[in-house]
Amino acid sequence: MALWGGRFEEGVSEFTQRFGASLPVDKEMYAEDIAGSKAHSAMLAARGVISAEDRDAIHAGLDEILSEIEAGEFPFDINDEDIHMSIESKLIARIGDAGARLHTGRSRNDQVATDTRLFIKRRCRDLMAANIELRRALVDQAEANFDVLLPGYTHLQHAQPVLFSHHMLAYVWMLTRDFERLAAAYRAADACPLGAAALAGTTYPLDRHMTAETLGFARVIPNSLDAVSDRDYLLDLLYACSVSSIHLTRLCEEIILWSTSEFGFVTLSDSYSTGSSIMPQKKNPDFAELIRGKSGRVVGDLVGLLMTLKSLPLAYNKDLQEDKEGAFDAARTMEDCYVCAAGMIATMRVNADAMRAQVKKGYLAATDVADYLAKKGLPFRKAHEVVGHLVLECDKRGCDLEDLELADFQRECDLFEADIVEALNMEAIVAARTTYGGTGHEAVRIQMQEAKAALEADAAAL
């Protein structure tokens, strides 16, 4: 019979026991459950609710159980329903009445919420550390290939030339925002529900601030109903993971395109590629594709929890048992994706010549030719039209703007002079983008310093 089975004459069936058990999922929180129980029993002893001898027996028993779990020797039993009941039942079997007093002034409702918050705090930190390593890999590639020119795209059409380093830093800033969202999820989880009991608090003289401080929480949740029913922090984590997974799909999509024969911009390491069972020449970007694909399960985990929480009345409902599997899965998936992406980026080879060859295609100097005329006094809309005519002429001839003669330019507008040639130089075009945040060399150097400073500040904050 379960520890809660006093008012029942019959136990649940084998099927419903298995259907209702969360042990396969929540046993991952064993360390947090033991830490919470030790903090609770220490507080009970400090408040005179249990004796110091009971406290010491509880701590010794819990330490023994912790060692057995970490050694893979603990006898998990699905009949124990969840990790909390599993540990407590074994503790009572080993130390007797002292173990039975552990649950004084506590419900599984506040116990589960406490363990989950502690676990999520740990997983947030793991994710933040992995996020930093991916950002570091992107920054390193940006530095190593600082002067490489890349065609910038809109609508997947050649638009304007940019520095490859500028392109990489765009992803660094996305991930920097992802770090901030993970940090916000950590702060949301950093509140202690222990002592709220089932929903209304308890008549025992508990010191909730003592347990919160012992467990490293920043604050105590002030409302007992909210303490046991709140799962916003899990939504915050899932949202942070979902946004970051979408960012990684954008990065991976470009890596997949860039590694094709049509682009040839990058070559992935053999360690982050696979072959074909039938086509011996193939080198497939499978891991970039997997990262792209795994976004579906991460976003699905977020939607799943949103629907679980929809319309739930206060305070605790068994629906909330479904809160952990998706959150744990999303965190594990996201960390794996970060690690995989960091290794892939760090080991890929950038093919500067292939990028430079594409910079010469698609009339990437067109905007600067229009700016040339605008700076000479021609309204920009008129300048836009003039350059459009020049591009059309190039289309008809099968050439690029730089292949035109000065007379061709002057035929469209007499403001063109011999120095128009300078407006067609790709390095000069890039270097001219000196505004803050632009792709010019000096602007990117400033941006690089800021990105590295943000990275190191985040690393130090961990």
| SS3 state at 416 | coil
Q: Is 295 a catalytic residue?
A: no
Q: 396-426: b or e for each residue (b if 16 or more CB lie within 10 Å)?
A: eeeebbeebeeebbeebbebbeeebeebbeb
Asked if the model's pLDDT at residue 9 lies above 80, the reply is no
> Residue 152 phi/psi, 5° resolution?
-80, 150
Q: What is the pLDDT of residue 373?
A: 94
Q: What is the pLDDT of residue 3?
A: 59
Q: Is 155 a catalytic residue?
A: yes
364-383: pLDDT as tens digits? 999 999 999 999 999 999 99
> In Å, how far are 7, 87, 106, 108 from 92, measured between CA atoms?
20, 9, 16, 16
Concatenated DSSP letters of 289-304:
HHHHHHHHHHHHHHHH
State the sign of the Cα–Cα–Cα–Cα dihedral 84, 328, 135, 348.
positive
| SS3 state at 266 | strand
List strand residue ranges (DSSP E) for 100-143, in order.
none
CA distance 384 to 283: 43
Q: Which of 51, 67, 276, 389 is catalytic?
A: 276
**Mean pLDDT, residues 415-423:** 89
| % of the chain surpassing 90 pLDDT | 89
184-235: pLDDT as tens digits? 999 999 999 999 999 999 999 999 999 999 999 999 999 999 999 999 999 9
Residues 6+ apart with CB under 8 A from 31: 66
342 touches 403 (CB < 8 A): no
Q: What is the pLDDT of residue 22?
A: 86
Architecture of domain 359-461: Orthogonal Bundle (1.10)
63-80: pLDDT as tens digits? 999 999 999 999 988 788
**Mean pLDDT, residues 437-445:** 97
Angle formed by the axes of helices 323-347 and 108-144, to 10°?
A: 10
pLDDT grade, residue 10 (50/70/90)? low
pLDDT grade, residue 81 (50/70/90)? confident
Q: Tokens standing for 24? A: 């396969």
Residues 6+ apart with CB under 8 A from 59: 38, 41, 42
Q: Residue 190: which of 238, 247, 122 has the closest Cα?
A: 122
**Mean pLDDT, residues 273-281:** 89
Q: Which of 13, 155, 261, 271 is catalytic?
A: 155
Poorest-pLDDT segment among 13-27, 75-89, 313-327: 13-27
| SS3 state at 347 | helix
pLDDT grade, residue 280 (50/70/90)? confident
**Which residue ranges make up each domain of the chain?**
13-104, 109-147+163-356, 359-461
Concatenated DSSP letters of 340-404:
HHHHHHHHPEE-HHHHHHHHTSS-TTHHHHHHHHHHTT--HHHHHHHHHHHHHHHHHHT--GGGS
- Count Cβ atoms within 10 A of the Cβ of residue 314 and give its class: 0-12 exposed, 13-18 middle, 19 or more buried: exposed
Angle formed by the axes of helices 30-46 and 52-70, to 10°?
A: 170
**Mean pLDDT, residues 151-155:** 96
179 touches 128 (CB < 8 A): yes
**Mean pLDDT, residues 90-112:** 96
Mean per-residue pLDDT over the chain, rounded: 94
State the sign of the Cα–Cα–Cα–Cα dihedral 349, 350, 351, 353.
negative
Amino acid found at 426: M
Q: Tokens standing for 171? A: 């992803």
Residue carrying the six token digits 């400090």:
46
| % of the chain surpassing 70 pLDDT | 97
Please tell me if the domain spanning 13-104 has the same topology as the one spanning 359-461. no
Architecture of domain 109-147+163-356: Up-down Bundle (1.20)
- Between 122 and 280, whose confidence is greater? 122
Asked if the model's pLDDT at residue 4 lies above 60, the reply is no
212 touches 137 (CB < 8 A): no
Asked if the model's pLDDT at residue 1 lies above 60, the reply is no
Q: Quick check: bond before 315 cis, omega within 30?
A: yes
**Mean pLDDT, residues 17-36:** 90
What's the number of CA atoms in the CB half-sphere (13 Å) around residue 227?
28
The H or E element spanning position 163 is strand 157-163
**Mean pLDDT, residues 347-363:** 95
CA distance 40 to 213: 11
Residue carrying the six token digits 């060399």:
441
| SS3 state at 364 | coil
Q: What is the pLDDT of residue 8?
A: 60
74 touches 94 (CB < 8 A): no
Q: Residue 134: which of 189, 69, 179 has the closest Cα?
A: 179
Poorest-pLDDT segment among 59-73, 239-253, 410-424: 410-424
- Count Cβ atoms within 10 A of the Cβ of residue 246 and give its class: 0-12 exposed, 13-18 middle, 19 or more buried: middle
For 13-104, CATH number out of 1.10.275.10, 3.40.50.800, 1.10.3720.10, 3.40.50.2300 equals 1.10.275.10
